[in-house]
């Protein structure tokens, strides 16, 4: 199938989903080593109808949505669904410190981000402290001014922030020193390296030290193996996210339910 054809079809599906409430949120539990239980979860978007194309990853459709200007409506829908979940499933949400929500670079650079987010949460009576916004280094590049303003004003209201995919870009360290970040997420590619004999987890160890140096908590992403878990524990990593504790799933059939 020609590539452009697939792209056009995904674009139509996304446009359709924006119009017809065609997205749903999955949640992946995040385990706190200190507490010995889940303390938060990451919200991950899924497209309900994918027609004959089969499963389409957000990694494929989010960039198309960004290019076509649909990401703002999608971003609103994501926060709206998280807020709606927090209100509807109070028993579950009250056990969690916060939900992590991914922010696209375009959202992060949009001057009305704070108003939009605040307005949605107010509608459901959910406190901004229940939302942790995940940003990536690429989200910051080229828009650091607007972005810094957004962060300050959102922090004032109560939102917290994570630096996602830490270490994969060139400037993670410089952003960490300049921006008020609460959490650092170690990318799966580094967690995978814990397995190779020659790395002995040196890189992961370095990221954890850097994160703690900046008074951040550190989350390791994509943890699948017991051996990785025990190494991360030894290295004083704070939180663990990965298939080892549960795949992303709708809240009703989520590993988090085991906590309630
Ligand atoms: P991300 O933010 O880095 O999300 C983590 C991805 O790693 C998720 O893929 C998750 O399912 C996957 N993952 C978690 N643990 C494991 C593991 O142990 N093994 C393996 N193999 N994978 C694991 P997912 O849900 O397909 O999301 C892909 C990307 O799409 C996300 O990467 C994020 O960049 C983007 N995305 C997802 N939801 C949203 C959203 O609501 N808004 C925006 N702007 N982007 C989103
Ligand atoms: Ca993320
Ligand atoms: Ca990530």
Q: List pLDDT tens digits, range 228-238.
A: 999 999 999 99
Ligand number nearest to the C-alpha of 191 = 1
Distance 44 CA to ligand 1 centre (A): 6
State residue 16's pLDDT score. Answer: 96
Please answer whether residues 66 and 109 qualify as being in contact, where contact means their C-beta atoms are separated by less than 8 angstroms.
no
Beta-strand pair 98-102/160-166: unpaired
Per-residue burial over 224-237, b if 16 or more Cβ lie within 10 Å, else e, is eeeebbebbeebeb
State residue 90's pLDDT score. Answer: 86
pLDDT tens column, 32-86:
999 999 999 999 999 997 778 899 999 999 999 999 999 999 999 999 999 999 9
- Classified as helix, coil or strand, 231 is helix
Residue nearest to atom 27 of ligand 1 (CA): 58
Q: Which atom of ligand 1 is nearest to the CA of 243?
A: 18
Residue nearest to atom 46 of ligand 1 (CA): 102
Residue nearest to atom 7 of ligand 1 (CA): 222
Distance 127 CA to ligand 2 centre (A): 21
Residue nearest to atom 25 of ligand 1 (CA): 44
pLDDT tens column, 110-159:
999 999 999 999 999 999 999 999 999 887 777 888 999 999 999 999 99
- Tell me the C-alpha distance between 231 and 220, whole Å: 11
Q: Please classify residue 33 by burial: count the beta carbons closer than 10 Å to its beta carbon, then call 0-12 exposed, 13-18 middle and 19+ buried.
A: middle
pTM of the model: 0.96
Give the count of alpha carbons within 13 A of 256, CB side only: 31
| Terminal-residue alpha carbon distance, the chain | 46
Average of per-residue pLDDT across 239-257: 94
Is the predicted pLDDT of residue 197 greater than 80, yes or no? no
Is the predicted pLDDT of residue 198 greater than 70, yes or no? no
Return the best residue to mutate from 22, 44, 67 for the ligand 1 pocket (most ligand atoms within 8 A of CB): 44
Is the predicted pLDDT of residue 200 greater than 90, yes or no? no
Is the predicted pLDDT of residue 8 greater than 70, yes or no? yes
Ligand 1 pocket: which residues have CB below 6 Å? 28, 44-45, 57-59, 62, 78, 102, 104, 164-165, 222-224, 241-243, 248
Residue nearest to atom 45 of ligand 1 (CA): 102
Ligand number nearest to the C-alpha of 187 = 3
Is the predicted pLDDT of residue 196 greater than 70, yes or no? no
């Amino acid at each position: 199938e020609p590539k452009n054809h697939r792209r056009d079809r995904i674009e139509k599906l996304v446009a359709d989903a924006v119009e017809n409430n065609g997205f749903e949120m999955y949640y992946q539990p995040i385990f706190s080593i200190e507490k010995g239980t889940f303390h938060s979860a990451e919200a991950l978007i899924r497209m309900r109808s994918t027609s004959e194309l089969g499963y389409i990853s957000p990694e494929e459709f989010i960039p198309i949505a960004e290019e076509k200007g649909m990401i703002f409506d999608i971003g609103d829908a994501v926060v709206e669904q998280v807020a709606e979940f927090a209100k509807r499933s109070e028993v579950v949400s009250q056990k969690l410190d916060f939900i992590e929500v991914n922010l696209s670079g375009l959202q992060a650079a949009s001057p009305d981000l704070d108003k939009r987010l605040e307005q949605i949460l107010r509608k459901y009576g959910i406190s901004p402290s229940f939302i942790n916004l995940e940003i990536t280094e690429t989200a910051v590049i080229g828009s650091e001014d607007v972005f810094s303003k957004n962060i300050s004003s959102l922090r004032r209201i109560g939102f917290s922030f994570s630096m996602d995919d830490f270490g994969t870009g060139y400037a993670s360290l410089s952003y960490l020193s300049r921006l008020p970040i609460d959490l650092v997420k170690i990318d799966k590619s580094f967690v995978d390296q814990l397995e190779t004999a020659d790395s002995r987890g040196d890189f992961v160890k370095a990221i954890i030290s850097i994160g703690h140096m900046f008074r951040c908590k550190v989350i390791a992403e994509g943890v699948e193996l017991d051996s990785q878990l025990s190494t991360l524990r030894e290295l004083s990593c704070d939180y663990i996210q990965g298939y080892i504790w549960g795949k992303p799933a709708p809240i009703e059939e989520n590993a988090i339910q085991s906590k309630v």
